[in-house]
Structure 1
């Protein structure tokens, strides 16, 4: 009876296990991630970017602190005449004072805090820009490795077909055994190359998944190709102007320039001291002796106190000088960053044009001609018009050129990625 119950419970438990296993989030079995999805996941899960987003709380706290007023001060004073032989005389004073910020200091501090928050937002956008560039380059590295793997598989397939042809011709007595052995060597070399390319693919995918912030157990498939024609219709002058408007690192410096102006305004306001106003209530008990008779008297005194430092020696000259120096430094940094951005756009644009020219040569002339040459050489070998070495050399030339073609495609994509990062926009 007990065994039967246990058996039924076990059968009920098995579907639960299967359900748990099938519900695990395994990307490789459910979908292939295209580049936009890869970038979106990276922006959400990248560890460095997530930690920098958490720093927004620091800026928010700084803004809250800038808007706070000074705390009031409570004062309590007491005195007694017991130590001087007048124990009946005493006094008790209770007062409260408040410092008032003059010259709009509180508002100016809030302006500075807002500028710091704006600079942080642009810093976050700049980090996202850098991450997009890095993710795109890692994505295209992985796609290149995948396509190189496909090219290697094609090489293996052609060498196997050639091996079948040599076996048939050897059986017919048309060729020596040496020719078949040469093809076997080429097949083995192709298989060894595939192992190396597969290792490079694993490394590139691991780097991409690290940037995406995925756990080690998740290895989703990616979908994409290198042959994406995205012509940049804008001229170099337009791209430079666009970079000066769109690049977030320049926006950071613009926010810092605005903050520098606010720092100077606050430093000038700090030259005007703050006013402290106080309100006190004092109770005094005294004794008066008249004709040998001692009388007691209690008085209540209400007082108001105003105090303000006199700016004779310190008019915050050092603070104003420091704020102006920081503002000047920011101006110099902004000028240098602007020139650097323009040079980056020029370099990236020239690299993209050069990569596109090289790629067009492969597309229009080299690859089609090599395809035709390989087919003619293979057919000539079947007919016995050329030797095996001619076929092997033609296949080597074909696959080396195709690998160079893939490299040219990859180089153009990387050049386009760098151009997008230099301008600060996406051409998709």
Structure 2
């Protein structure tokens, strides 16, 4: 019988060990890497070793050695942003929780030695195991596995959100830089006009009103240049932060101009269906609902039986008689500890689990409705900003240049005065800035459209159901 027990025990241990989850070689990063490469064609890496950090650093320096393009900026952030690395650490923590949940509980051994009156001595031990934990181990493992899969999609969502924010910061920094260059060029022209007007005033060829108008125009442009310089500093620092750069890396170079407007917009047949299929926040919520359903079923199954322990004991009693003769008695026993659900029947935990599950369903429905609307708005904005930028480039700016040429000819022919020239110059500058802003808004709309189709807004916090029964203490003793 003892041999049979040993075989049964070894078989049980083998089955439990076979059911235990194992750590992946990359901390669960393989699906994240594949998903990001499939979605945006970029590489992501978790910096787990000094060698990983060294290789990433070398690649970042190589990218920064050239003029930084938008795609290069995205790759730098994926390799260098430490907030993203912290999100990957969260994924590793989730994997550790999954592996931990798959492990069977360790048995406890209790040793005791008792001294009685006279020459009575007792020695014993107990081997105590949580039967409920063993019985519910497969269900807990499955729930933890689902939560780990959900954590992988959260890592993908964080990565996609970062790439979109990098694109937005890059476009804003580049537009601010180009705006400053445009205003500085206009101010140089205004400065030359002011100097010429001052010289003409000294000879009496220009009146004081014209001199004051030109000087005021130059002063106004000087203020706009100062504001543009501040915008360049703040927007570049925003880009620097999201790229994770500091020290000698701050001298990175940006292109001089925004990317040109494409010849035509991309026609998307049905952005709503695309958003429903690709958006990671919806995928996460679907995973969460399945996990919560399993958790609710688990709570329902254990609502009454929240504590069950089995104790196997051995006790040896030694008593010395008056003649000095010792008698020894061996005793074996088994005890079962169970909680009687008199006051806490588990109804509160079950109700909470059901409410959390329904909350997740309502969140998914709400997020799905919002996702459809966000996709429609993002695509409409994308089309509208393209049309506006195209109209600026094809009509407004060329017409302003034509008007400026005609006004200058009329001024040279003494058919118009300085005031009309200044008004025209201000309108021409405003048209150029408007065209630049329209081009910037178009590129931002491209990033916003990508966000609406892939990651959406902020992923809501996970609605975790507490599947751990309330702690109970049942004395076990022979």
2:142 corresponds to which of 111, 122, 139: 111
Distance 1:343 1:29 in 2: 39
Give yes or no for the alignment of 1:206 onto 2:237. Answer: yes
8 Å CA contact 1:93, 1:281 repeated in 2: yes
Distance 2:142 2:134 in 1: 14
8 Å CA contact 2:296, 2:353 repeated in 1: yes
Backbone CA RMSD of aligned residues = 3.6
3-state SS in 2 of match to 1:222: coil
1:143 maps to 174
Distance 2:168 2:198 in 1: 45
1:321 maps to 351
1:61 maps to 96
3-state SS in 2 of match to 1:221: coil
8 Å CA contact 1:140, 1:226 repeated in 2: no
CA displacement 1:208-264 (0-9 Å, x = unmatched): 2122222265142222515332723213xx211111122122122112112102202
Distance 1:188 1:312 in 2: 83
8 Å CA contact 1:273, 1:310 repeated in 2: yes
Give yes or no for the alignment of 1:243 onto 2:275. Answer: yes
Instruction: Tell which structure's C-alpha radius of gyration is larger.
Output: 1
2:78 maps to 43
Displacement of 1:34: 0.8
CA change 1:382–1:266 in 2 (3 A) is: same
1:225 corresponds to which of 243, 258, 273: 258
Distance 2:447 2:126 in 1: 68
Map 1:130-169 to 2 at 5 A.
Answer: 130-159=161-190
3-state SS in 2 of match to 1:96: strand
8 Å CA contact 2:309, 2:338 repeated in 1: no
Displacement of 1:134: 2.8
Displacement of 1:331: 0.5
2:390 maps to 360
CA displacement 1:381-415 (0-9 Å, x = unmatched): 33444433333222222111111111211222222
1:413 corresponds to which of 438, 443, 451: 443
Gap regions ≥5 residues in structure 1? 1-24
Give yes or no for the alignment of 1:234 onto 2:234. Answer: no
8 Å CA contact 1:45, 1:212 repeated in 2: yes
| Structure with larger RCO (C-alpha < 8 A, sep 6+) | 1
2:409 maps to 379
Displacement of 1:93: 2.5
8 Å CA contact 1:381, 1:387 repeated in 2: yes
Give the structure with the higher percent strand. Answer: 1
CA change 1:286–1:33 in 2 (3 A) is: same
Distance 1:39 1:191 in 2: 34
Give yes or no for the alignment of 1:96 onto 2:127. Answer: yes
Per the normalisation by structure 1, the TM-score is 0.78
Equivalenced residue count is 392
3-state SS in 2 of match to 1:280: strand
CA change 1:74–1:167 in 2 (3 A) is: closer
8 Å CA contact 1:26, 1:220 repeated in 2: no
Displacement of 1:184: 5.1
1:399 maps to 429
Distance 2:363 2:394 in 1: 46
Displacement of 1:116: 1.9
Map 1:271-350 to 2 at 5 A.
Answer: 271=303, 276-286=309-319, 296-301=326-331, 303-305=332-334, 307=336, 309=338, 313=342, 316-350=346-380
Displacement of 1:159: 3.6
3-state SS in 1 of match to 2:389: helix
Q: Which moved more, 1:362-371 or 1:127-136?
A: 127-136
Per the normalisation by structure 2, the TM-score is 0.71
Displacement of 1:371: 1.5
Distance 1:26 1:72 in 2: 53
1:32 maps to 67
CA change 1:196–1:300 in 2 (3 A) is: closer
CA change 1:103–1:379 in 2 (3 A) is: same
8 Å CA contact 1:209, 1:219 repeated in 2: no
